[in-house]
C-alpha cells in the first residue's frame, strides 16, 4: 500500500454519486446512483475491500475502462482521481461525507418517485448504519459483497429492509451447489434467501444462461439469471445464481481462477 497522508487532500470531488451515467445502471428501470471509491488498498489510505480475493484484486473493474483512462490522465497531470478524492473525504470527515451523500440522494428524490443507490460501486464497506429507512422511504439500496458475515446479516434479516445484498463469488467460494445448500439450510434464514453473482468466460456465460438452472447436491434447482440485463439486483428472484459475462482483461485471464467455466453442467 502506498503511503498517502490525509493532509494531501486536494479539493473535493465535484459529486459523490454517479447518477444514471454508468453503462450498467443505464439498463436499470429505476434512476440509480452509484458511489465509486478507491478499490481495495489502491488509495494508500485504507483497504476498502478487505475480503477481496487475489483474483478479484487483479481483475478489479475499478481499474478497467473509463477508470483506467481516468487514472492514466491523472498520473500525467499529477492530479488525483475523483475516486481518491471521495475516499479521502470519507476517511477525513465521515459525518460531512454522509451529510453530503444524503443531500445528493435527496436531490435524486426530486427527479423520481423511486430511486436506487449502490454505495459500493468499487468498494465493499459497511453502510447499514448510515442507511435510514425513515429518511429514505422508496429508496432502494443494493450492493454486492464478499464479506460472508455481511451476507449472513442480510439473509438473517438484520440489515435495513430497503437494503439488498448479493454475495459475490470468486475462486475461493468452493462448490457453488454446496454454497446454496449451506445458505438455504441455515435455520435463521427464515425467508430462504440465497443469491450469488459469478463472472463467466463468454462461452460459458452463454451456456449457463441457455441451461437456465443448476442443481445442488441436495437436489435443489437453482435458477440462473442474466446479470448483465440490469444491474438492479433487488428485482432478482429470492434464490438465484446471477451470471455475469467477463469483460476486458478478465476474458483472457488464466483458467481455473476468479472467472468461471461452465461445461457439462458443472461450474469450475
Instruction: Please report the pLDDT score of residue 10 as a whole number.
Output: 54
Instruction: Please report the pLDDT score of residue 256 as a whole number.
Output: 76
Q: How many CB atoms lie within 10 A of CB 146?
A: 19
Instruction: Evaluate whether residue 44 is within a structural domain.
Output: yes
Instruction: Evaluate whether residue 6 is within a structural domain.
Output: no
Instruction: Evaluate whether residue 4 is within a structural domain.
Output: no
Instruction: Please report the pLDDT score of residue 62 as a whole number.
Output: 47
In this structure, what C-alpha cell is assigned to residue 55?
A: 483474483
User: Distances from the Cα of 7 to the Cαs of 10, 12, 44, 112, 258, in angstroms?
Assistant: 9, 13, 13, 38, 37
Domain holding 188, by residue range, is 11-267
Instruction: Evaluate whether residue 1 is within a structural domain.
Output: no
Instruction: Evaluate whether residue 218 is within a structural domain.
Output: yes
pTM of the predicted structure, to 2 decimals: 0.89
Instruction: Evaluate whether residue 5 is within a structural domain.
Output: no
Q: What span, in angstroms and rounded, lies between the C-alpha atoms of 227 and 214?
A: 16
Q: pLDDT tens for residues 17-38? A: 999 877 878 889 999 999 999 9
Instruction: Evaluate whether residue 29 is within a structural domain.
Output: yes
Q: Which residues of the chain have pLDDT under 50?
A: 1-9, 62, 67, 71, 74, 76-79
Instruction: Please report the pLDDT score of residue 9 as a whole number.
Output: 47
- The position carrying cell 422508496 is 138
Angle at 67 between CA 40 and CA 199, to 5 degrees: 65
Instruction: Evaluate whether residue 2 is within a structural domain.
Output: no
Q: What span, in angstroms and rounded, lies between the C-alpha atoms of 157 and 118?
A: 19
Query: For the chain, what is the domain count?
Result: 1
User: Counting Cβ atoms within 10 Å, is residue 158 exposed (0-12), middle (13-18) or buried (19+)?
Assistant: exposed
Instruction: Please report the pLDDT score of residue 61 as a whole number.
Output: 60
Amino acid at each position: 500500500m502506498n503511503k498517502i497522508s490525509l493532509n494531501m487532500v486536494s479539493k473535493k470531488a465535484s459529486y459523490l454519486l454517479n447518477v444514471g451515467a454508468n453503462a450498467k445502471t443505464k439498463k436499470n428501470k429505476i434512476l440509480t446512483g452509484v458511489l465509486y471509491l478507491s478499490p481495495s488498498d489502491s488509495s494508500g489510505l485504507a483497504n476498502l475491500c478487505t475480503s477481496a480475493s487475489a483474483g478479484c484484486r487483479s481483475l478489479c473493474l475499478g481499474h478497467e475502462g473509463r477508470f483506467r483512462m481516468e487514472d492514466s490522465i491523472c498520473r500525467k497531470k499529477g492530479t488525483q482521481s475523483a475516486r481518491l478524492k471521495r475516499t479521502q473525504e470519507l476517511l477525513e470527515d465521515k459525518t460531512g461525507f454522509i451529510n453530503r451523500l444524503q443531500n445528493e440522494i435527496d436531490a435524486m428524490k426530486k427527479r423520481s418517485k423511486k430511486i436506487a443507490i449502490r454505495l459500493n460501486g468499487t468498494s465493499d464497506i459497511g453502510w447499514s448504519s448510515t442507511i435510514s429507512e425513515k429518511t429514505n422511504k422508496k429508496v432502494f439500496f443494493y450492493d454486492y459483497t464478499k464479506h460472508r458475515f455481511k451476507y449472513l446479516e442480510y439473509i438473517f434479516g438484520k440489515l435495513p429492509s430497503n437494503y439488498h445484498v448479493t454475495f459475490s463469488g470468486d475462486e475461493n467460494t468452493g462448490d457453488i451447489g454446496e454454497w446454496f445448500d449451506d445458505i438455504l439450510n441455515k435455520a435463521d434464514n427464515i425467508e430462504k434467501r440465497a443469491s450469488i453473482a459469478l463472472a463467466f468466460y463468454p462461452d460459458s456465460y452463454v451456456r449457463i444462461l441457455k441451461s437456465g438452472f443448476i442443481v445442488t447436491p441436495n437436489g435443489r434447482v437453482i435458477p440462473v439469471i442474466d446479470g448483465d440485463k440490469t444491474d438492479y439486483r433487488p428485482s432478482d428472484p429470492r434464490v438465484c445464481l446471477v451470471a455475469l459475462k467477463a469483460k476486458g482483461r478478465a476474458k483472457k485471464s488464466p483458467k481455473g481462477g476468479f472467472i468461471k467455466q461452465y461445461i457439462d453442467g458443472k461450474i469450475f
